[in-house]
Amino acid sequence: MTRSVEEHQQAVLGLLRYSSAFADGAPEILPLATARGRVLAEDLLSPVNLPPFDNSQMDGYAVHGDDLDGSAPLYLAVAPPVPAGAEPVALEPGHAAPIMTGAMIPEGAAAVVPIENAVPSQFPTTGQYCGEEGLTVELPVAQAGSFIRRAGSDLEAGSAALVAGTLLGPSQLGLLAACGLATVPVRPRFRVLLLSTGDEVQEPGTELAPGRIFDANTTLLTTALEEAGAHVQRHSVVADNPEELRGALQNIGGQVNLILSTGGISQGAYEVVKQALADSSVEFLSVAMQPGGPQAIGTINGVPFLGFPGNPVSALVSFEMFLRPALGTVTGLPGNRVCLPARLTEDVQSPEGKHQVRRGLYTDRSGQGEGIGDVTLLGGPGSHLLHALAASNALVHLPAGTGTVEAGTPVAVWLLGELRQGAQPLHPGNPTREALT
Ligand SMILES: Nc1nc2c(c(=O)[nH]1)N[C@H]1C(S)=C(S)[C@@H](COP(=O)(O)OP(=O)(O)OC[C@H]3O[C@@H](n4cnc5c(N)ncnc54)[C@H](O)[C@@H]3O)O[C@H]1N2
Ligand code: MOO
């Protein structure tokens, strides 16, 4: 059975949505400073007004409402100062109180005049406040309410500070702190059991035996999953022994939201995942994509399962194309990569019937009057080319039907990192030839 990229993306999304253990997970309560990158589990109402009280927006003089009759300049007696953090005494008509930014507006005051608009334009010294009677200040005409930040003008007590599903970053966590909250309920992390398979696959840090290779996939996918916000339970490498794999998968139910394996799913004589799950509801199929053609999808004892191909580049491309976007949709975490148009720096040939995903180096040219950036392919299409992948900052899409593309033609790229300054993103989702024309 062969599926299009879009069909398999939908199938993976459906599988993750089915992951009921995840949806029913009780919220975790975290201290604010440890909750960055997590998703809010429930609506949070503010217990206080923001600001909590009427306060001054400027260092200046608080003026009584009775003195705002439009006559100017005002000559007012200087009242005792109002520092931030103090509860001031009421202001009498005919008086102006030195008031600091953030200080509570005294009862009776109706406007603040910034100190630089006063004569003298500096506050009296502490000694003058204490020792001299009869200090006066000259102020220009002021509008009622000027430079006063009203209680609740940012957020009213009892209204929603944040709604469930919000991704918590510095601004959101700062808001909760301003509301006086010390902890936040977050959705539990999406939990993934990760197993790499293959007799030839050996732990890094050991001495490499003849015919064997080091396990790249466990580290590659652990870090990719964690970067996407998931919690990863790493299993040690499973040999090409179906009994061993079945043993590793027993009694997993309920502890994880997804089991993800690499390797053992194509046409060989020792395809351990295929053999171990032959009588299960897991489907082994081919997606019209290169790399990442062989795929497995289904459930094991009710737990969602995905099998990625063993080649490291195939595993990463499978993650980027299928799992990352679906994870974003079900968890509320950012799943879609920034998609940009870029001009190819060389001619390229892709298989007509497949969506080819090449790796490349994207360079932003928007500051050089070029409009869009360019992309240089790194390595060939081979799915073992991990060194070229490591030097790349973009996936380059050559959708099914592309065939030959000449140098200078715009193609869609997904940035594997931050958006460069000035670059204009395309709409997220699968790049098509039409999106570029
Ligand atoms: N006759 C056919 N052979 C193959 C086909 C096919 O259609 N017909 N498809 C090829 C494609 S495309 C891919 S991709 C691979 C997928 O094979 P498997 O998923 O069964 O993976 P393995 O055979 O176990 O491994 C493939 C390759 O990757 C290396 N590998 C595996 N695990 C790791 C790891 N953890 N770290 C680093 N490298 C790993 C492994 O040694 C193999 O070289 O099948 C093709 N064959
Ligand atoms: O489809 Mo395989 O993933 O090219 O190398």
CATH code at 167?
3.90.105.10
**Are 268 and 140 in the same domain?**
no
**Are 177 and 60 part of one and the same domain?**
no
Q: How far is the CA of 232 from the centre of ligand 2 (A)?
A: 24
CA distance linking residue 403 with residue 406, whole number of Å: 10
CB 250 within 8 A of CB 302: no
CATH number reported for the structural domain that contains residue 347 in this entry: 2.40.340.10
Q: Is residue 390 part of a domain?
A: yes
- Do 275 and 194 fall into the same domain? yes
CA angle 147–144–89, rounded 5-degree value: 75
- Which atom of ligand 1 approaches the CA of 197 most closely? 32
Picking from 309, 319, 342, the residue whose alpha carbon sits closest to that of residue 414 is 342
Residues near 318 by beta carbon (within 8 Å), at least 6 away in sequence: 292, 295, 308, 309
Q: What is the pLDDT of residue 435?
A: 53
**Shortest-distance atom of ligand 1 to CA 237:** 35
Last residue of a domain, one of 311, 331, 351: 331
Ligand 2 nearest-atom number relative to CA 314: 3
Quickly count: other Cβ atoms within 10 Å of residue 304's Cβ. Answer: 24
In a domain? residue 164 = yes
Of 93, 127, 149, the residue that ends a domain is 149
Asked which of 331, 357, 379 is the last residue of a domain, the reply is 331
CB 416 within 8 A of CB 336: no
**Which residues contact ligand 1 via a Cβ below 6 A?**
196, 198, 200-201, 213, 215-217, 262-268, 271, 291, 293-294, 309-312, 314, 383
Q: Tell me: do 77 and 33 sit in the same domain.
A: no
Contact 135, 80 (CB under 8 A): no
Q: Is residue 382 part of a domain?
A: yes
- Give the ligand 1 atom nearest the CA of 265: 20
Residue 215 in any domain: the answer is: yes
Q: What is the residue range of 119's domain?
A: 55-149
Q: Whose CA is nearest to atom 14 of ligand 1?
A: 309
Does residue 155 fall inside a structural domain?
Answer: no
Instruction: Count how many domains the chain has.
Output: 4
Q: Dihedrals φ, ψ of 291, to 5°?
A: -80, 180
Is the minimum distance from the CB of 310 to ligand 2 under 6 angstroms? Answer: no
Q: Whose CA is nearest to atom 24 of ligand 1?
A: 263
Q: Three-state secondary structure along the chain?
A: CEECHHHHHHHHHHHHHCCHHHHHCCCEEEEHHHCCCCEECCCEECCCCECCCCEECCCEEEEEHHHCCCCCCEEEEECCCECCCCCCCCCCCCEEEEECCCCECCCCEEEEEEHHHCECCCCCCHHHHHHCCCCEEEECCCCCCCCEECCCCCECCCCEEECCCCECCHHHHHHHHHCCCCEEEECCCCEEEEEEECCCEECCCCCCCCCCEECCHHHHHHHHHHHCCCEEEECCCECCCHHHHHHHHCCCCCCCCEEEEECCCCCCCCCHHHHHCCCCCCEEEEECEECCCEEEEEEECCEEEEEECCCHHHHHHHHHHHHHHHHHHHHCCCCCCCEEEEEECCCEECCCCCEEEEEEEEECCHHHCCCCEEEEECCCCCCCCHHHHHCCCEEEEECCCCCEECCCCEEEEEECCCCCCCCCCECCCCCCCHHHC
Whether residues 35 and 178 share a domain: the answer is yes
80 alpha carbon – ligand 1 mean position (Å): 80
> Would the CB of 383 count as within 6 Å of ligand 2?
yes
pLDDT at 255: 83
The pLDDT score that the predictor gives to residue 437 is: 44
Is 154 inside any structural domain?
Answer: no
Phi, psi values for residue 320, rounded to 5°: -65, -35
Q: Is the CB of 217 under 6 A from ligand 2?
A: no
Q: Is 312 in the pocket of ligand 2 (CB under 6 A)?
A: no
Q: Is residue 234 part of a domain?
A: yes
312 in the same domain as 198: yes
* Same domain as 321, residue 233: yes
For residue 57, give the nearest of 137, 125, 143, 156 by alpha carbon: 143
**Which atom, in ligand 2's list, is nearest to the CA of 294?**
1
Distance 320 CA to ligand 1 centre (A): 18
Average pLDDT along the chain, 437 residues, taken 10 residues at a time: 95 87 76 96 97 98 94 93 97 97 98 98 84 84 96 98 96 98 96 96 96 98 96 95 93 85 95 95 97 97 94 98 95 91 96 97 82 94 96 97 96 83 57 55
In a shared domain, residues 85 and 224: no
**Residue at token pair 């200078």:** 408
- Do residues 402 and 274 share a domain? no
- Atom 2 in ligand 2: residue holding the nearest Cα: 291
Which ligand 2 atom sits nearest the alpha carbon of residue 318?
3
Pair 209, 172 in one domain: no
Q: Which atom of ligand 1 is nearest to the CA of 271?
A: 20
Q: How far is CA 181 from CA 17, 104, 161, 176, in A?
A: 31, 22, 11, 6
pTM: 0.88
User: Are 310 and 344 contained in the same domain?
Assistant: no
pLDDT at 302: 87
Q: Which of the ligands is closest to the CA of residue 265?
A: 1
Is ligand 2 within 6 A of the CB of residue 293?
yes
- Our answer on whether the CB atom of 108 is closer than 6 Å to any ligand 2 atom is no
Ligand 2 centre to CA of 324 (Å) is 18
Q: What is the dihedral of CA 217, 222, 225, 227, to 10 degrees?
A: -120
CATH number at residue 60: 2.170.190.11
Residue 257 placed within a domain: yes
How far does residue 383's CA lie from ligand 2's centre (Å)?
6
Tell whether 352 and 422 lie within a shared domain.
yes
Spatial distance between the Cα atoms of 254 and 252, rounded to a whole number of angstroms:
6
Q: What's the pLDDT at 213?
A: 97
CB of 311 closer than 6 A to ligand 2?
yes
Residue whose CA is closest, atom 4 of ligand 2?
A: 291
Q: Please state the ipTM of this predicted complex.
A: 0.98
